[in-house]
Amino acid sequence: MTLLPFKDLPAHKPRGFVPEGIDLGDWPQLAPLFDALESRAPKCGSVADLEKWLVDWSELEAALDEEASKRYIAMTCHTDNPEAEKSYLHFVEKVEPELKPRKFRLQQAFIGHPLRDRLPKQRYEVFIRDTQSLVELFRPENVGLETEEAKLTQQYQKLSGSLTVIFRGKEQTLVQMGRYLEEPDRALRQEAWELVGNRRLREADKFEEIFDKLVKLRQQIAKNAGFANYRDYIFRKLCRFDYTPADCTKFHDAVEKEVMPVVRELQAERRKQLKMERLRPWDLAVDPLNRPPLKPFEQVGEMVSRTQTIFQQLDGELAGGFQRMQDLCLLDLDNRKGKAPGGYQSTLAEARVPFIFMNAIGLQRDVETILHEAGHAFHALATRDDDLYAYRSAPIEFCEVASMSMELLGNEFIESFYSPADANRARRTHLEGIMGIFPWIATVDAFQHWIYTHPGHTRAERSLAWLELMDRFGGDADWTGYDKTRAYLWHRQLHIFIHPFYYIEYGIAQLGALQVWANSKRDKAGALNAYKQSLVLGGSRPLPELFSAAGARFEFDNATMKPLVELVRTELKNLE
Ligand SMILES: [Zn+2]
């Protein structure tokens, strides 16, 4: 494909099962491979046969995954190219729906295999546990309900994405309006904030209606699968074997007790610096000293070379990995016409190398993003040699430890981008951001626990539950006069609609990353070594083991959170 920023990359290991030259976007060519695996499964007469069968299945999965990734990368790099879009949509619409039921049959064949329990336990227990859970949760009567759910989430995305306002004479999306909250002019900030809030409020009934339907559907899905409520069902579905709803409650309580005092302290300081009597919701994003934005670089080439310098100071092996990505053109980072917005890291699963996509424009946010995505990329590189496709990626709770740790560790050398004073300002912004996100994560998570354990609740009760959480975790901002906006604030959190319960992962991972960083303050080389060792494990071990390999405890209680918050607080004081 000529639309890709990189040239053809060889598979990490030569194919042994998937034929060379096969068109991976053509289902009639793919079906025989699934047939072959399916009919071979019962004939695996030894543990070695079964392991070989798993490796062949992995090879097929990786080839398909890479095909999908390449089509996605080509499309996001060239949104104005109709061929690229067509090719991606063909895969999503014509190939993926065929793959799903066939993959499920392979999973069933594996779980039902008589030799399954004879596989080496340490090596396969996580794979077996996850696959078994997926097979057990499957209910044919849920397939249609899940399609309905997907349609409703599309409605949510369409509605959210369609909202615009007229501001300063031009039509702007609500996302675009976010930047005005960083403007020093307070009246302008208020005007922009009110405009966005009111625009959303006008659609409040529609958002509520979509959500009512989603909750009902999800309860039915859980019931069909034999669960008392959707919360318990989704914990299984998300393979949360290593923590419980009670652990999440501990997280909420710990955030309230340990983090909220620091958030209030930071808000009080902000209020003083801004010389205001009270902070209003539109005063939370502006620089409290009215300074212009940080300017870490002009050209994307500078961003790459300065990031390279950071990794060289951090670790030779990581620096080597980042250099290789540059040599293989696995970075597409500049913002140009025709590129999709945002940033992501994707792995070419057969070549077993990572790719990073960004739209860098010269902001501190770009520096945070490149460090973050590089952390994911290092994770992908570290797991290259594992032949079990499923183990080359970890659960999100740990993937984000890889990336968030890299933000914190990389920030230690951020003078590569800044004068000493600006470097400290960048660090401060980053750490304040970490403190600020914990309460929001707790709010979003606790809200969903309430929703799905209170079946039959009314809209009014739901608002009340949300407002109680806003009282607990909302800090000291003064919302007087904006009660309705506050009560419906959750409408803007896409995860609540689209990826239910998927959010606390970021909080869990941040606790892991802060521990890696805390360790590095005491023992730089040791902490980095543990970090690298933990990445090599990929998804092959349960979460507590991945955390412990990285030198972190897999606990979300007060005792774990307290010293970390204390460290951030001290650091913030030192950076003043
Ligand atoms: Zn990430």
Report pLDDT for 299.
Answer: 95
State the pLDDT at residue 354: 98
Cα(46) to ligand 1 centroid in Å equals 40
Alpha-carbon distances, residue 243 vs 5, 45, 50 (angstroms): 41, 37, 31
How many Cβ atoms are within 10 Å of 118's Cβ, its own excluded?
12
Residue 53: its pLDDT value, please? 98
Residue reference for tokens 């306002």: 165
Q: Which residues fall within 8 angstroms of residue 212, CB to CB, at 6 or more apart?
A: 459
Q: How far is the CA of 492 from the centre of ligand 1 (A)?
A: 20
**Cα(405)–Cα(534) distance, rounded to whole angstroms?**
12
Q: Provide CB contacts within 8 A for 496, sequence distance 6+.
A: 211, 444, 447, 448, 490
DSSP string, 274-288: TT-SS--GGGSSS-T
Q: What is the pLDDT, as a whole number, of residue 134?
A: 93
Q: What is the pLDDT of residue 337?
A: 87
Distance 142 CA to ligand 1 centre (A): 30
Q: How many Å lie between the centroid of ligand 1 and the Cα of residue 400?
A: 5
Task: Confirm if 502 and 547 have CB atoms less than 8 A apart.
Answer: no
Rounded Cα gap, residues 425 and 572, in angstroms: 10
* CA 377/CA 355 separation, integer angstroms: 7
Q: Which residues contact 37 (CB under 8 A, 6 or more apart)?
A: 53, 56, 57, 60, 106, 109
- For 444, the token pair is 């979003």
373 C-alpha to ligand 1 centroid (Å)? 6
Model pLDDT, residue 399: 98
Ligand 1 centroid to Cα of residue 118, in Å, is: 36
The values of phi and psi at residue 508, to 5°, are -60, -45
The per-residue pLDDT for 176 is 85
CA 178 to centroid of ligand 1, rounded, Å: 21
Nearest C-alpha neighbor of 75 from the set 150, 1, 176, 160: 1
User: Which class for 447: exposed (0-12), middle (13-18), buried (19 or more C-beta within 10 A)?
Assistant: buried
- C-alpha 357 to ligand 1 mean position (Å): 12
Q: What is the pTM of this model?
A: 0.96
Give residue 260 CA to ligand 1 midpoint distance, Å.
25
Span 23-37, pLDDT tens digits: 999 999 999 999 999
User: For the chain, how big is the Rg over CA atoms in Å?
Assistant: 24
Specify the DSSP class assigned to residue 122. H
Which regions of the chain are under pLDDT 70?
1
Largest CA distance in the chain: 77
Residues recorded for the chain:
576
Cα atoms found within 13 Å of the Cα of residue 147, Cβ hemisphere only: 5
pLDDT at residue 551 in the model:
98
Alpha-carbon span 159 to 492, nearest angstrom = 11
Whole-angstrom CA distances from 158 to 154, 161, 206, 221, 427 are 6, 5, 12, 24, 36
DSSP lists the bridge partners of residue 345 as 356
| C-alpha 507 to ligand 1 mean position (Å) | 12
Alpha carbon distance 85, 393 (integer Å): 27
Cα 112 to ligand 1 centre (Å): 35
Cα distances (angstroms) measured from residue 126 to each of 58, 87, 237, 543: 15, 35, 15, 10
d(CA 393, CA 347): 10
